[in-house]
Structure 1
């Protein structure tokens, strides 16, 4: 996978799928077409959803939001991912976890992504 993950969501049941290779046809779930999710790069105050990358001892650390995103059962980050050339790395999260992920890469100029269970798909815009 290079570039940006491609996500589709079923607006009926809430299922989200990630496409890892292209193909023809359409995606259907619950007898309706799935919706393509566009990664957002700026939120209302640009503080709670945009992934922030910084150097860490083991590579890079990605934090969701300059003000830490909530991690409650009702509102939380489901995963954080980075794309560095042809490498895709992700960390799954659950309510109660800190919305932070560390990845063993030295390049800080990478694309970072996250998925919020309420506000959906976000990127650092790189």
Structure 2
């Protein structure tokens, strides 16, 4: 599923693991669905995940141009999603905007990153 919602008041983000009835609420307000962005938008060169095969699995780099990793603008997480798995690598300011996963490249359905300023981006 991997649907993501964000609170417009406090900024909290939740990911749906199992869908259900009802509306997600935070800070007494309905949470907003977060749309994934991809290569057709401005900023793609610094946000769209780039996958490359390694000897042990797959490396995901954030953008064809390295993404900044400053205190006020950085990649929070990199994730890979397959038919029956999801793996996440958490990052912090100062880290390199990339992550390695021990999963064969051909098993990865998509990669997704979250930028604290520009939201979720996927490789499509």
**TM-score between both structures, scaled by the size of structure 2:** 0.93
Bigger drift between 36-45 and 113-122 goes to 36-45
1:117 aligns with 116
Q: Are 2:3 and 1:13 equivalent residues in the alignment?
A: no
Give every structure 1 segment of 4 or more consecutive aligned residues whose post-TM-superposition deviation is greater than 6 Å.
none
Structure 1 portions without partners, runs of 5+: none
State the distance in 1 between where 2:50 and 2:17 align. 24
Bigger drift between 75-84 and 106-115 goes to 106-115
Counterpart of 1:48 in 2: which secondary structure?
helix
State the distance in 1 between where 2:2 and 2:46 align. 21
Measured against aligned partners, the alpha-carbon deviations of 1:92-123 in whole angstroms (never above 9, x if no partner) come to 00111111011111124530001010001110
State the distance in 2 between where 1:16 and 1:122 align. 15
State the distance in 2 between where 1:70 and 1:107 align. 25
Residue 72 of structure 1: which of 52, 70, 73 is its match?
Answer: 70
Question: Which is strand-richer, 1 or 2?
Answer: 1
Bigger drift between 43-52 and 115-124 goes to 43-52
Measured against aligned partners, the alpha-carbon deviations of 1:20-51 in whole angstroms (never above 9, x if no partner) come to 11101000111111000010002315300000
1:57 aligns with 55
Q: Are 2:9 and 1:22 equivalent residues in the alignment?
A: no
- When the two structures are aligned, how many residues end up with a matched partner? 122
The CA RMSD measured in Å over matched residues stands at 1.2
Would the aligned equivalents of 2:52 and 2:105 in 1 still touch at CA under 8 Å? no
State the distance in 1 between where 2:94 and 2:8 align. 26
State the distance in 2 between where 1:55 and 1:74 align. 31
